[in-house]
Structure 1
Amino acid sequence: MKFASEFRDPALAKALLAEIARTADEIGATKQKPVSIMEICGGHTHSIFRYGLDRLIHDGIEFIHGPGCPVCVLPRARVDECIEIAQKPGVVFCTFGDAMRVPGSTLSLLQAKAAGADVRMVYSPLDALEIARRSPEKEVVFFGLGFETTTPSTALAITQAAREGLTNFTVFCNHITVPEPIKALLDDPHMCLDGFIGPGHVSMVIGIHPYDFIAEDYGKPIVVAGFEPTDLLQSVLMVLRQIARGVARVENQYARVVPEHGNTVSLAAMAEVYEKRPSFEWRGLGEIDASGLRIRDKYRAFDAEEKFGIGYAGVRAVVEEAEGCACGAVMTGRMKPPACPQFGKGCTPEMPLGALMVSSEGACAAYWQYGGARAAE
């Protein structure tokens, strides 16, 4: 497969695994005292299990699965607010497919659709914009969800709607940013992390310097990584070599895709449309300062929270996790999916109790897809 096979070369993977083992032994990594490396991105979690890297790598390396799945970190209260908007008369609620099955406190968006709400799966905010053009009698709401990877496209949809003078298109903005939850994890005294595999897709937009604080303030190495098996193995080796030398830096393994200073066009679009929220609620992490984005006053007419008086623009309910659901503990690295008492029992892909079993980037979905019944035993 052109442009992919070279990053799946078995001989290169074998050589990297051998060098990882040598460096891990040099550090003194063992099962009793492993080197804990958090892969922040859910896409990396799936690559690790898809290619069996968790089984091939040195016993002294432990992968910790981080909060890098935007669907997974969405609290149940926000899902309930989505459903509340979708159930309003005359509303067409547009969302990415992953969010359709995430359980709220009583329903998912898919169940709300089955009950009569006009919920539609789209592939882009531009799809929602086209629905608004064709249905001027409807209020079309796009569920703006995701990290910095998807944020620019929503921003551009809003500016396009403003240029066209559309009055029936709004965004329910749930865009979030990566650096702030990492800081929250590093400030948690119970988290013992030795290094990070940085997200590749997010870094295509923001570059590598937003992670400088990880190395400078916390003394932890971070390597921005690609998604192929040799990308991830090389990144683990780069983290280990920093630890072995007693240094901490931000390094870019994914330089073929990730520019040092990010994508200037995307960053400009984000700055034009969004500003930081004072705080935003994360599943498993609670409210984190300045970790979410909201639509600037200049584009308030396109803010669904303002139009419908919902979410942070209204009165927010406190919604607890479902009883027995350990999504928060899994997502913050305090528990592996099979340790959740509901994994494979009360929570399966067909009948999910939590978001991590639903999302294509969820850790529980990765364990189930690539471990299946073995993981549940």
Structure 2
Amino acid sequence: MKYVDDFRNSEIARGMAARIHRAVERRRRYRLMEFCGGHTHAIARYGLTALLPPQIELIHGPGCPVCVLPVGRVDSAIELALDHGVTLCTYGDTLRVPGSKRMSLYKARAAGADVRVVYSVSDAIALAKAEPAREVVFFGIGFETTTPPTALALAQAREMALDNFSVFGNHVLTPAAMRHLLAEDADQSARLDGFIGPSHVSTVIGVAPYRAISRDFVKPVVIAGFEPLDVLQSVLMLVEQINQCRADTENQFTRAVTEAGNTRAQALVHAAFETRDSFEWRGLGAVPQSALAIRSEFAQWDAERRYALVPRVAADVKTCQCGAILRGCAKPSDCKLFATVCTPATPFGACMVSSEGACAAHYQYGRFVAPALSSARAPRAVTSA
């Protein structure tokens, strides 16, 4: 398939790896963070670390919206479902995220709460429209990729005067988290040398927002696609920048990401949301200007206002290393719980729950030899922007 088999070509992958080996400087370390959980899974699935020289270290970042959802916000969602008697519509990977006292939406549903898995926010809109006597709340989470559909749903609810629908908003912003990581990293011995930038997020926000990060922190960013050849080429681009003492934002994923991004989606988001002063991220703590709040014009459809939810702060399980993993300060294998008592069937933390979590990736792929890349025909040229 075009853009799938083409970008899994084993011969080209070996050639790309050889170029990376030739490019690295033997006495230099390259600490590269793949921000997005999709990249973490691609790296684990295709065994890309085995192709790289020892000078390169790939570090997992916080790029999984389920993983960074703090315990307090999970508790608030459980409160909506159990105490306010609403029908809570949510994506499936939030069901087993642990809240306080090992509670979760899955357990809340077992206790009688009406928690339903939906595939999109439009499913929640359709339910509210079909059953006007039912109070329907959509548990909105995600980075910039999933925010436009939530914004569109708010606009539709207002247009239809859909009074029994509201959104519990938890949409967060990627560039703010990257800035926070770099600011935090400046005070630590472990440092980051560059970012493999997210792809899906960048299709919405474009390339421009990362340029200020490269400039302000003197760190290169390369936006990468999810296929193995995308990741390898992005690593090579970062290595070349670091060797040349450059700190630019480059776009490897030119077949989907543009400089300006999706301006229509951005307009939808701007009309429905405004930036919060601060928002808590699991593992990162309070991050300034890192999340979106529903604008006052849509207050009627804001579940936080409608149900007077009080912000909650709760700590993770002390023995769980999710916080350190999301900051790039630890690996799943560093955690004593990993693959012992913490498994996908019995997760202790969000990194094992989410399909994009680093722990889930290591559990699923880490014990096996990487599958062979396909021998499909060579891909079309991909150039940086």
**Under a length normalisation based on structure 1, what TM-score does the superposition of the two structures give?**
0.95
1:343 aligns with 2:341: no
Report how far residue 371 of structure 1 moved.
1.4
How far apart, CA to CA, are the structure 1 residues paired with 2:362 and 2:263?
Answer: 36
Q: Which consecutive residues of structure 1, in runs of 5 or more, have no partner in the other structure? A: none
1:283 aligns with 2:282: yes
Secondary structure at the residue paired with 1:329?
A: helix
Secondary structure at the residue paired with 2:316?
A: coil
Partner of 1:28: 26
1:208 aligns with 2:207: yes
How far apart, CA to CA, are the structure 2 residues paired with 1:373 and 1:119?
Answer: 36
Deviations 1:210-254 (A, max 9, x none): 111221111111100000000000000000011111111000000
Q: How does 1:1-377 map to 2 (within 5 A)?
A: 1-24=1-24, 27-29=25-27, 34-106=29-101, 107-188=103-184, 189-190=187-188, 191-310=190-309, 314=310, 316-372=311-367
How far apart, CA to CA, are the structure 2 residues paired with 1:214 and 1:37?
Answer: 15
Secondary structure at the residue paired with 2:339?
A: coil
Report how far residue 341 of structure 1 moved.
1.5
How far apart, CA to CA, are the structure 2 residues paired with 1:232 and 1:3?
Answer: 14
Question: Contact 1:195–1:221 (CA<8 Å) still a contact in 2?
Answer: yes
Which structure's relative contact order is higher, taking Cα pairs within 8 Å and 6+ residues apart? 2
Secondary structure at the residue paired with 1:93?
A: strand
How far apart, CA to CA, are the structure 2 residues paired with 1:238 and 1:371?
Answer: 26
Amino acid at match of 1:14: R
Question: Contact 1:143–1:171 (CA<8 Å) still a contact in 2?
Answer: yes
Question: Contact 2:75–2:312 (CA<8 Å) still a contact in 1?
Answer: no
Secondary structure at the residue paired with 1:275?
A: strand
Partner of 2:372: none
**Under a length normalisation based on structure 2, what TM-score does the superposition of the two structures give?**
0.93
- Say if 1:331 and 1:201 are closer, same or farther in 2 by CA, change over 3 A: same
Report how far residue 138 of structure 1 moved.
1.0
Amino acid at match of 1:201: H
Question: Contact 2:73–2:312 (CA<8 Å) still a contact in 1?
Answer: no
Report how far residue 286 of structure 1 moved.
0.6
How far apart, CA to CA, are the structure 2 residues paired with 1:217 and 1:340?
Answer: 33
Deviations 1:108-137 (A, max 9, x none): 111111110000000100000001011111
Superposition CA RMSD, Å: 1.2
Report how far residue 317 of structure 1 moved.
3.2
Report how far residue 200 of structure 1 moved.
0.1
Report how far residue 90 of structure 1 moved.
3.8
Amino acid at match of 2:9: D
Deviations 1:18-60 (A, max 9, x none): 0000111xx235xxx5310000000000000001001221111
Q: Which runs of 4+ in 1 moved over 2 A?
A: none
Amino acid at match of 1:179: P
Report how far residue 76 of structure 1 moved.
0.7
Report how far residue 3 of structure 1 moved.
3.0
How far apart, CA to CA, are the structure 1 residues paired with 2:292 and 2:363?
Answer: 32
Question: Contact 2:76–2:312 (CA<8 Å) still a contact in 1?
Answer: no
Report how far residue 89 of structure 1 moved.
4.7
Question: Contact 1:71–1:146 (CA<8 Å) still a contact in 2?
Answer: yes
Question: Contact 1:90–1:138 (CA<8 Å) still a contact in 2?
Answer: no
- Say if 1:84 and 1:59 are closer, same or farther in 2 by CA, change over 3 A: same
Deviations 1:265-321 (A, max 9, x none): 1000000000001100001111111101000000111100000111xxx2x333111
